[in-house]
A = this chain, B = another copy of it.
Amino acid sequence: MPQERGFHVAVVGATGAVGQQMIQTLENRDFPISKLSLLSSARSAGKKAVYKGQEITVEEATPESFEGVDIALFSAGGSVSKALAPEAVKRGAIVVDNTSAFRMDENVPLVVPEVNASDLHNHNGIIANPNCSTIQMVVALEPLSQKFGLKKVIVSTYQAVSGAGAAAVAELNDQTRAILDGKEAEPKILPVGSGEKHYQIAFNAIPQIDKFEENGFTFEEMKMINETKKIMHLPELQVAATCVRLPVGTGHSESVYFEIDAEGISAEEVKSLVGDAPGVVLQDNPSEQLYPMPAYCVGKNDVFVGRIRKDLDNENGFHMWVVSDNLLKGAAWNSVQIAETLIDLGLVK
């Protein structure tokens, strides 16, 4: 990345689970920053965060906060993005938004750099970062789509609680300890904070992430379905998803069945292709019990793929297991990676 100049970067939602990872990722990547503004809701303003050893006070995000900002990374919820992202753009910033607010907007590129970086050229100030569970799946599917064509995807997810925020992680830990101690622990957050009912997540699996749509799918499932088609430029792709929350802190896993548009392809060919793809680490050797797992992917930017095998009935069908850190490639790293790509492409004014 050319580092001729530094940029004024703002992180909106700096105190949240993803915001914290964004700050850390900017530091790890030695992102070219001339000034870093950490912003949040009024409730969290005044808290402090550390960037490269320096304490920075988090300020309340207002329209004026974005004066002079070059790049604003948003991850403070859809309503904050809807209210403030246009204000940031108005003031000359380019926004990378990690909420669902603009993802399906025709005028907003929805980008996973390994898949559709060229869509960035068509931005109008806002670039949407896809849903965590979508990102890791399309990184693994893209090389197959490019080489063979992709016809059908059926995914069942195994998602970590950090996708629901830091409070959900605390709920999992506190509830788990209470249950081990034989105590009661009233669920208050999961599966959906604003929902009417809350269920135990410790030692459980909850087949609901986000609210239900009229068609019986959840919003999370529809995000995976619609975002996958948009990112991969495959409006006709058949995609179905079942999204499930697990008692895992960080690291989403996915059991993915897919059908390619080619016959006679072996599992070894698929392994080789996926393993060579950008952003992918292949962990696939059954004889050595090598496959990806969420507990071992935390803190890494890669998408880990394993358990690749050919379907026993369908000549075009394959199965695979895809794991990634949902706070990094699923959120913070993909957002920072979009920002880096924007700079590389000369798209930041």
Tell me if A248 is interfacial: C-beta within 8 Å of chain B: yes
How many Å from the CB of A151 to the closest CB on chain B? 10
Contacts of A248 in B (CB 8 A): 203-205, 247
B293 and A206 contact, CB distance less than 8 A? yes
User: What 0/1 readout, one digit per residue, does chain A (146-173) give for beta carbons within 8 Å of chain B?
Assistant: 0000001010101000000000000001
Contact A307:B203 (CB < 8 A) given known A173-B180, A289-B197? no
Q: Which residues A13-65 have CB closer than 8 A to chain B?
A: none
Of the listed stretches A67-75, A101-109, A212-220, chain B binds A212-220
Asked whether any CB of chain B lies closer than 8 Å to the CB of A125, the reply is no
Contacting pair B313 A242 (CB below 8 A): no
Question: How far is it, in angstroms, between the C-alpha of A253 and the C-alpha of B176 when the chains are bound?
Answer: 20
Asked if A216 contacts B293 (CB within 8 A), the reply is no
Q: Is A330 interfacial (CB-CB < 8 Å)?
A: no
Are A244 and B255 touching (Cβ within 8 A)? yes
CA distance A248 to B248 in the complex (A): 11
A312 contacts the other chain (Cβ, under 8 Å)? yes
Closest B residue by C-beta to A287: B212
Interface residues of A in 315-344 (CB under 8 A from B): 317, 319, 321
Shortest A96–chain B CB gap in Å is 29
| A–B complex contacts, Cβ < 8 Å, 12 sampled | A154-B154, A158-B246, A197-B288, A197-B289, A200-B293, A200-B295, A205-B246, A205-B293, A207-B306, A215-B312, A216-B308, A238-B313
A275 at the A/B interface (Cβ < 8 Å)? no
- In whole angstroms, what is the CA distance A314 to B200 when docked? 34
A143 at the interface (CB under 8 A from B): no
Measured CA separation A306–B308 after assembly (Å): 29
- Cross-chain contact B257 with A154 (CB below 8 angstroms): yes
Which of B204, B205, B212, B240 contacts A319, CB < 8 Å?
B240
A251-B257 Cα distance, complex, nearest whole Å: 24
In contact, B208 and A158 (Cβ under 8 angstroms): no
CB-CB under 8 A from A321, the residues of chain B are 207, 242
A225 in the interface (beta carbon within 8 A): yes
Minimum C-beta distance from A345 to chain B (A): 35
Contact check, B212 vs A311: say whether CB atoms are below 8 A apart: no
Contacts A176-B180, A204-B251, A215-B312 aside, 6 further interface pairs with beta carbons under 8 A come to A158-B205, A199-B293, A207-B292, A207-B293, A215-B309, A239-B313
